[in-house]
Every structure is written in C-alpha cells, then in structure tokens.
C-alpha cells in the first residue's frame, strides 16, 4: 500500500460510482444471502470505505478495491458465505487504520473478531534471524483449528496481491512470488483449492521465470486450434453413447497449467513438444450421491469401449478419496492417432469439491455437522502447535511437510484405512496411531513379515506395530520420518529428555558457582550463555552435563560481589568477534550491488550452487559467515532464500564494462555420429576462442548426452556458442544446466 499522489486530477464522483458498482458486483456474487446478511455486509463495506478513504494502492487505484475483490474471490471462487465476506471486507482495517479489534467485536461479534485477529499481521520487531513472514504465517495457522476461514481469506488476499503484482518493484515481485510458491500454493493444494493453487503457481512462475513462462504460453496458444479439433473428434462417439444412455453430463477439456507443464519438462528432461498430457478431458455427470460410484464406473466402461486404456494409469479416487477430499476416477487411453489422453470422470458434487476443496467441505460441515477429513487435518495442525518451543521457521518447515502432494493408503491389523504422505515409514504409521505407540515402537510386521523402523511403506500394506517399554526416541529417528506429526512428536520427546539431562547440568553449575563464590542469578546465567555461545539456559545446562563446556574457564573471569564479568581486554576481544559475525551498514531495501565494483567494503562472490554469469538476472544473499553470495533469480535455492530470508536478500546487477570469464555448463543431447566430438571441440577452440574446463560424453542405444564446462564472458557469449552447437547435424537439444543439481537452466 502507498500514499499515491497523482499528477492529473482524479474524477472523485466517477470513482465513487465505480466503487459502488464493484460492491454491487460483490453482492450479486454472494448467492442465497438473507436480508440480515446484506445488512451486515453493507455495514462492513461502509466501515472499510471510511477507514481506507485516504489510501491508494501502488497502482494508483483506491485501496477499497482490494478488500472488495478479496471478498468477491471468497464468495465467487471459494463458495464461502456472508461471515467470510464481512471479514474479507474489513481484513486490513485493524492493521492499517485506527480501528481496533474491540471495535470489530462491538460491531460484528466475537467470531468475526477471531478471524480478523488471525488475519492481522504481527506488528512487533522480531529477532533478526527469524523471518517476519514466517511469524505471520504461523499466527495465521494458529487460528486454523478455531476457524478455517482465516486461511481461506488469507489465500484470497494473496491471490489478489499476486494478480496485481505488476505495480510493485522487480525485487519485491521476486520476493512475494517466491514466498507464494514456497508456502501459499502448497497450502491451497492441501486445502483442495485446485484452481487457486494452479493460478498462484502460474503467477509465481510469471515473475520468477518470465522468459520460460512466455515461451510456453505462446506454444499453448499456437497449438490451441489443433488441440480443440482433436478433442472434438475424440469425444464425439463417447458423447453420443452417453446421450443414448440417458445421462445428464458436461464435458470439459482442461489444459495443463504452464507451471505444471514446466515441472514435467524439468522432471522428464523433455521439450514442450514431448509433453503428452498437455490437456485432460473431464466428464462431469449429474447423478444422486448413492449412484455416483456405479455411474462413474459405467462411464469408464463406455470410454474404454472406444479406446484402449493403460492399466498402469488408472487412479480410483472415487473409492478412496485423497487426503484433501479430492474424488475422481482417472484413466489414460490411447487415441486412434496414437496419442495418450487422460480422461477424468466425476459427479457434479465431486467437481465442486475438486475446484474449491475443503472450502466446500467446510460449507458442508456447517450445515451437516460432519467432515472427518477436515477434522483429521485440523487435529494434525493442533499436534504441530503443541510444541511452543519451535521457532517460526521450524514450524513453517514442519507445516510444509503436511502439504504433501501424494499419499499412500495403508491398513491397521483390523482393516482400518490410514492415509500417509508418500515415503512414510513404519515410524510415521506408529505416530499416526498414537504418540505412545510411536515413542515405544521397535519395528512392525508388514504383511506378516518383520520389518525395521526405516522400512518405506507401500500402497495396500497392512501393519502390526511391535512396541517395547524400554524403547525411546533418538536423533536418528528424525531421518526415518516424513510426516509433520511424527517429526514434531519425536522432537518433543527429545526435548523432554534434554530437559532431564539439563537438570543434572544445572546442579553441576550450582556446585561450581558455590566453589567460586558466584551467585546463581539470571544475570550470571545470561553472561555464561553469551560466553559459551549457548542459545538458551537449557542448552547451556545440557552442554555442561554432557561435558561440552569447560567450566575451568571460570577461573579466567572476575567475580565482583557475586557477579561474574570478563576482564577488560577479553571483553573487547569478545565484542570484536561478535561484531565480525554480523554484516552491518547494509540496507537490503535501498542498496544495490553493482557486480564488478566494491560494495561498501564487503566481500561478495558467485554462489557455487548456480554459477551466475553476466547477463543472468541475479540477487545478493547476506550469509552469516561467508559475506554476500550472488545467486541467479532462477537458482534452485532462490525460492527458499527469498521466501524464508527475504530480509537478507539484496538487489544486484552486473557492471557491463568489465569482462570477466566465468564457468558455464552446457548439456547436449542428440543422435550419435562419427566425428561429433571433434566438431564440438573445434567450435569451442577455433571458432569462438572459448576455454574449455571439462568435457564428457555418454552414448546409449545411439543417443548421446554430453556435458561441457566452458569459460564465457556473459549470456550473449554463451548463446553464440550454443547456437553454433545446434547447427551440427545430429544435435537435437542444447541447454544450459546446473552442474550441482543436474537440472536444466533456461
């Protein structure tokens, strides 16, 4: 938000009319509202309009458009009711204006206050090593067990911010887009908000990878007509049969999202033209709930009467819905043109849940009073919140584990179904049953065969957990588990054990203090925490008990009236070492590193994880011990750094007049031919005068794959080289690649 000062005079009367029209559009979007609902929404709109009357967004438009649009997303795209719309309209008033939570409660009641409190950012300043955004995210999730609408409104808020991100500075765009990709898109997925998750991912990619996004978008548009003709021909016999059978249905063709296509291209290491599932066909049938399953299978039978199905690609989420509530029957069939086509079959109710996910479940729960999947997920969130000692970043990391993309289905000895993240082990299953069973688990019988704790579960496994009263968790267990619940329970158990050991350490220190006539005071403990670099008193006591702290060093300290202090020269030395650990004097919002020039006397170097070269879009990251590292904007670590440590990211650009050779890695794929390597090395050494660092080739069934590291000046220099490689007969694809991760760089 920005105080906007336009050069030209604004037509305030027209602006007022436009705002009222936007509000009327919101009311039209909220179906089945009562007169009381309309009155409450009008009251919220009037409050927001007055509170934000002098505020404008960075685009220049009145700020009130933002809460109106967020409220409309809640009503139109999530199917939420009047309470959510009221909260969306006033969601920024407490944070940005004079209105307080008490005012909200007086006008709208305690439920609306609770939701607004969850949506309000935390105003205090946090420790410099903690991400403020992580704290805000944690606070939002704290309210999830009280009211899911907090998270749904926050997602609507984030979606509108992403839709209007174009008016922000480039560095802000990258930070917000990275944070969205890291936290909010997975959260939307976990809540089953498929369309919102897809849009968030695409918008994030549009700002993080603009060139690739534009290329894929152009290719999708250019192939749209061919795709549509193919779909019409493919569906014609199926449509006729369904009509003949008397079904009421709708057929939609869903094009794969740009971000999803790019993920497939990276994962499979293939070009756009080789992504076979660019689209999927969806058959939505209107049928009563009791006939949904048989009707879906009957339609599946009709589809496979015309086209041969792939047995490996049948997904039955009608019998066993996914953890986020998704229900559908997926099959992939071969068309007469020799092309695989994915067909999704579902009822109208299933389609609504697929589009708005747990928002639909939430609405259902309000009226019907039951939703085991939602209750189960909220119970998992409560488990995560049971650990008050976890830092915000640790909480966010554990919470992300709960946003898994894929699940497996396993069974208890009595046949009860349990849904776990893919990659789960026996320990994950044990903790899913009960904390005590997890803490005492020594193994399990999987399908009547004895298996160790680290055994990875497979779909359909049946488990019987074996426990022992002598067993207890250890640090190694954290490597065996993938579910957030199991990780949190193991950490809690280890912390309890640490506290018991720390009590012994405290007794040892008390005896030592007595020996040196030192008081057991909080000031003296705080002093020793800093002196021995311990993060807390508990850690200090734990290290003392384990013999990791040399208490004989207490002799080097002065004791004055029962208080300990460093000798003056040691104090100066310690102060200097502490200062060396911090990089001060840098304003990450205003400063820009000009690569090639000195930057305020600080060292900076190219990050080895992505080896940026001049021409790449880059940013600086302030590390704790190694100065500033320069990363590419599309570095594999960029999303993680920008979303979790945005306050340590700094703008950077290249100084164009200084040519320095840097390493770039190239991957070449093609058909093996005699003399091919000679042609490549000739181009490198003779035609472009480029120094080669390394070269390696492998051939498999006539297909070769080569990896070359060369020294180039910038991206233009590199593109000249790769362009000449592409002209060689037999070479099919030349890409820049990351030598650390093996991923293709575009």
Summarize pLDDT for 617-635 with one digit per residue, the tens.
Answer: 888 888 877 788 889 888 8
Angle at 59 between CA 56 and CA 61, to 5 degrees: 45
Residue 497 CB contacts under 8 Å (≥ 6 apart), including other chains: 472
Does residue 612 sit within a domain?
Answer: yes
For residue 200, pLDDT over 90 is answered with yes
CATH code for position 417: 3.10.20.30
For residue 370, pLDDT over 60 is answered with no
Averaged confidence pLDDT in the chain: 79
Residue 684 CB contacts under 8 Å (≥ 6 apart), including other chains: 690, 692, 708, 710, 721
Of 342, 310, 341, nearest to 329 by C-alpha is 342
- With tokens 């990791």, the residue in question is 548
Please state, in angstroms and rounded to a whole number, the distance separating the CA atoms of residues 605 and 622. Answer: 11
- What's the pLDDT band for 218 if we cut at 50, 70, 90? very high
**54 with 120, same domain?**
yes
Of 570, 565, 543, nearest to 554 by C-alpha is 565
Contact 411, 459 (CB under 8 A): no
**621 with 691, same domain?**
no
Residue 421 CB contacts under 8 Å (≥ 6 apart), including other chains: 401, 404, 406, 407, 408, 428, 482, 483
Select the highest-mean-pLDDT range: 57-71, 373-387, 401-415, 661-675.
57-71
Does residue 180 sit within a domain?
Answer: no
Q: What is the pLDDT of residue 143?
A: 58
Mean pLDDT check: name the lowest of 500-504, 548-552, 578-582, 681-685: 578-582
**72 with 152, same domain?**
yes
Q: What is the pLDDT of residue 534?
A: 78
The neighbouring-strand residues paired with 662 are 712
Catalytic residue among 15, 18, 95, 355: 95
Neighbours of 713 (CB within 10 A): 17
**120 with 264, same domain?**
no
- What's the pLDDT band for 203 if we cut at 50, 70, 90? very high
Does residue 490 sit within a domain?
Answer: no
Of 484, 462, 451, nearest to 418 by C-alpha is 462
**442 with 521, same domain?**
no
Q: What is the pLDDT of residue 279?
A: 86
pLDDT, tens only, 721-741: 888 888 887 788 888 876 555
Torsion sign, CA atoms 119, 124, 126, 128: positive
Contact 566, 558 (CB under 8 A): yes
Whether 529 is a known active-site residue: answer no
Mean pLDDT calculated for residue range 691-710:
79
**606 with 688, same domain?**
no
Q: What is the pLDDT of residue 564?
A: 66
Residue 256 CB contacts under 8 Å (≥ 6 apart), including other chains: 264, 275, 277, 278, 279, 280
Contact 166, 58 (CB under 8 A): no
For residue 574, pLDDT over 50 is answered with no
Whether 407 is a known active-site residue: answer no
* H or E element that contains 409: strand 407-411
Tokens standing for residue 502: 């720390």
Mean pLDDT calculated for residue range 313-342:
86
Q: Which structural domain range is residue 559 located in?
A: 495-580
pLDDT, tens only, 349-363: 888 888 776 666 545
Q: What is the pLDDT of residue 559?
A: 61
pLDDT, tens only, 1-49: 444 444 455 677 888 888 899 888 888 888 778 888 889 999 999 998 8
For residue 659, pLDDT over 80 is answered with no
- What's the pLDDT band for 403 if we cut at 50, 70, 90? low
**671 with 703, same domain?**
yes
Catalytic residue among 18, 96, 215, 743: 96
Contact 635, 698 (CB under 8 A): no
Q: What is the pLDDT of residue 130?
A: 45
Does residue 303 sit within a domain?
Answer: yes
Q: What share of the chain is helix, strand, coil (3-state, %, to 5)?
A: 50, 20, 30
For residue 691, pLDDT over 80 is answered with no
Task: Work out how many domains the chain is built from and give that number.
Answer: 6
Torsion sign, CA atoms 46, 84, 121, 640: negative
DSSP 3-state of 97: coil
CATH code for position 669: 3.30.70.260
**108 with 52, same domain?**
yes
Tokens standing for residue 549: 């702290």
Angle at 150 between CA 148 and CA 154, to 5 degrees: 125
Tokens standing for residue 22: 């936007």
**341 with 469, same domain?**
no
Q: What is the pLDDT of residue 573?
A: 46
Q: What is the pLDDT of residue 285?
A: 94
Q: What is the pLDDT of residue 632?
A: 86
**264 with 150, same domain?**
no
Neighbours of 367 (CB within 10 A): 6
To the nearest whole percent, how much of the chain has pLDDT over 90? 16
Domain boundary among 600, 622, 654: 654
Of 158, 178, 182, nearest to 77 by C-alpha is 158
**502 with 428, same domain?**
no
Does residue 452 sit within a domain?
Answer: yes
For residue 270, pLDDT over 80 is answered with yes
Please state, in angstroms and rounded to a whole number, the distance separating the CA atoms of residues 118 and 149. Answer: 10
Q: What is the pLDDT of residue 301?
A: 94
CATH code for position 264: 3.30.460.10
Does residue 698 sit within a domain?
Answer: yes
Helices and strands (DSSP H and E) totals, the chain? 30, 23
**226 with 245, same domain?**
yes
- Tell me how far CA of residue 530 lies from CA of 324, 534, 625, in angstroms: 46, 6, 18
Please measure the distance between the N-terminal and C-terminal CA atoms of the chain and give it in whole angstroms: 33
Burial class (CB in 10 A: 0-12, 13-18, 19+), 618: buried
Of 82, 72, 69, nearest to 33 by C-alpha is 82
Mean pLDDT calculated for residue range 443-463:
87
pLDDT, tens only, 91-143: 888 888 888 889 888 888 888 888 888 787 644 433 444 455 566 666 666 65
Q: What is the pLDDT of residue 495?
A: 82
- Tell me how far CA of residue 303 lies from CA of 126, 237, 254, 280, 299, in angstroms: 58, 9, 17, 14, 6
Q: What is the pLDDT of residue 121?
A: 60
Domain boundary among 558, 580, 602: 580
Does residue 202 sit within a domain?
Answer: no
- To 10 degrees, what angle do helices 484-515 and 537-545 make? 70
Mean pLDDT calculated for residue range 465-493:
86
Does residue 233 sit within a domain?
Answer: yes
Q: What is the pLDDT of residue 660?
A: 63
């Amino acid at each position: 938000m920005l105080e906007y000062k336009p050069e030209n005079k604004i037509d305030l009367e027209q602006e007022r009319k436009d705002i009222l029209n936007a509000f009327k559009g919101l009311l039209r979007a909220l179906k089945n509202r009562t007169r009381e609902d309309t009155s409450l929404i009008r009251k919220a709109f009037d409050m927001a309009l007055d509170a934000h009357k002098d505020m404008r967004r960075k685009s220049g438009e009145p700020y009130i458009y933002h809460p109106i649009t967020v409220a409309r997303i809640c009503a139109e795209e999530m199917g939420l009711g009047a309470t959510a719309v009221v909260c969306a309209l006033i969601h920024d008033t407490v944070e940005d204006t004079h209105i307080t939570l008490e005012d909200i409660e007086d006008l709208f009641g305690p439920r609306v206050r609770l939701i607004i409190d969850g949506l309000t950012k935390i105003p205090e300043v946090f420790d410099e090593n903690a991400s403020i955004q992580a704290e805000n995210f944690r606070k939002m999730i704290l309210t999830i067990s009280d009211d899911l609408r907090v998270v749904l409104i926050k997602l609507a808020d984030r979606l509108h911010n992403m839709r209007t991100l174009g008016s922000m500075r480039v560095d802000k765009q990258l930070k917000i887009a990275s944070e969205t990709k890291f936290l909010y898109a997975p959260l939307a997925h976990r809540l089953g908000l498929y369309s919102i998750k897809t849009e968030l991912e695409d918008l994030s990619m549009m700002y993080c990878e603009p060139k690739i996004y534009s290329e894929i978008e152009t290719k999708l548009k250019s192939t749209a007509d061919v795709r549509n003709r193919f779909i019409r021909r493919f569906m014609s016999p199926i449509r006729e049969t369904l009509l003949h059978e008397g079904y009421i249905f709708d057929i939609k063709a869903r094009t794969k999202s740009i971000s999803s296509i790019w993920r497939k291209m990276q994962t499979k290491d293939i070009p756009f033209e080789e992504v076979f599932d660019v689209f999927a066909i969806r058959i939505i049938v209107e049928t009563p709930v009791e006939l949904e399953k048989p009707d879906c299978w009957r339609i599946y039978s009709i589809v496979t009467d015309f086209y041969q199905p792939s047995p490996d690609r049948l997904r039955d989420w009608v019998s066993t819905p996914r953890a986020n509530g998704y229900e559908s029957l997926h099959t992939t069939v071969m068309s007469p043109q020799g092309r695989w086509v994915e067909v999704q079959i579902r009822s109208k109710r299933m389609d609504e849940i697929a589009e708005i996910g747990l928002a639909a479940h939430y609405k259902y729960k309000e009226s019907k009073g039951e939703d085991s999947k939602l209750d189960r997920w909220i119970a998992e969130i409560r488990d995560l919140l049971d650990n008050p000692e976890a830092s915000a970043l640790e909480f966010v990391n554990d919470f992300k584990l709960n946003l898994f993309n894929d699940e497996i289905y396993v069974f208890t000895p009595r046949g009860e179904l349990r849904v776990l993240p893919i990659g789960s082990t026996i320990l994950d299953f044990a903790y899913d049953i009960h904390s005590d069973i997890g803490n005492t688990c020594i193994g399990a019988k999987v399908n009547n065969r004895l298996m160790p704790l680290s055994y990875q579960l497979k779909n359909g496994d049946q488990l019987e957990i074996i426990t022992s009263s002598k067993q207890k968790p250890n640090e190694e267990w954290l490597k065996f588990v993938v579910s957030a619940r199991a990780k949190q329970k193991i950490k809690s158990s280890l912390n309890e054990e640490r506290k018991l050991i720390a009590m012994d350490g405290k007794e040892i220190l008390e005896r030592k203090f007595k020996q040196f006539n030192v008081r057991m005071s909080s000031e003296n403990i705080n002093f020793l925490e800093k002196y021995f670099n311990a993060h807390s008193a508990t850690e200090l006591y734990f290290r003392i008990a384990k013999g990791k702290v040399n208490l004989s060093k207490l002799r080097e300290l002065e004791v004055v009236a029962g208080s300990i202090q460093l000798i003056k020269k040691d104090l100066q030395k310690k102060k200097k070492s502490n200062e060396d650990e911090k990089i001060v004097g840098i304003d990450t919002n205003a400063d820009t590193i000009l690569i090639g020039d000195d930057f305020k006397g600080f060292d900076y170097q190219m990050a080895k994880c992505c080896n940026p070269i001049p021409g790449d879009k880059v940013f600086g990251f302030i590390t704790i011990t190694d100065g500033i590292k320069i990363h590419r904007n599309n570095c594999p670590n960029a999303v993680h750094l920008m979303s979790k440590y945005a306050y340590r990211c700094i703008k950077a650009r290249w100084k164009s007049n200084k040519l320095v050779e840097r390493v770039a890695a190239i991957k070449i794929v093609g058909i093996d031919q005699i003399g091919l390597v000679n042609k490549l090395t000739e181009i490198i050494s003779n035609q472009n005068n480029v120094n080669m660092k390394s070269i390696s080739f492998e051939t498999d069934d006539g297909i070769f794959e080569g990896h070359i590291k060369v020294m180039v000046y910038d991206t233009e220099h590199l593109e000249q080289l790769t362009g000449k490689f592409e002209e060689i007969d037999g070479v099919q694809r030349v890409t820049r690649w990351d030598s650390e991760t093996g991923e293709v760089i575009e």
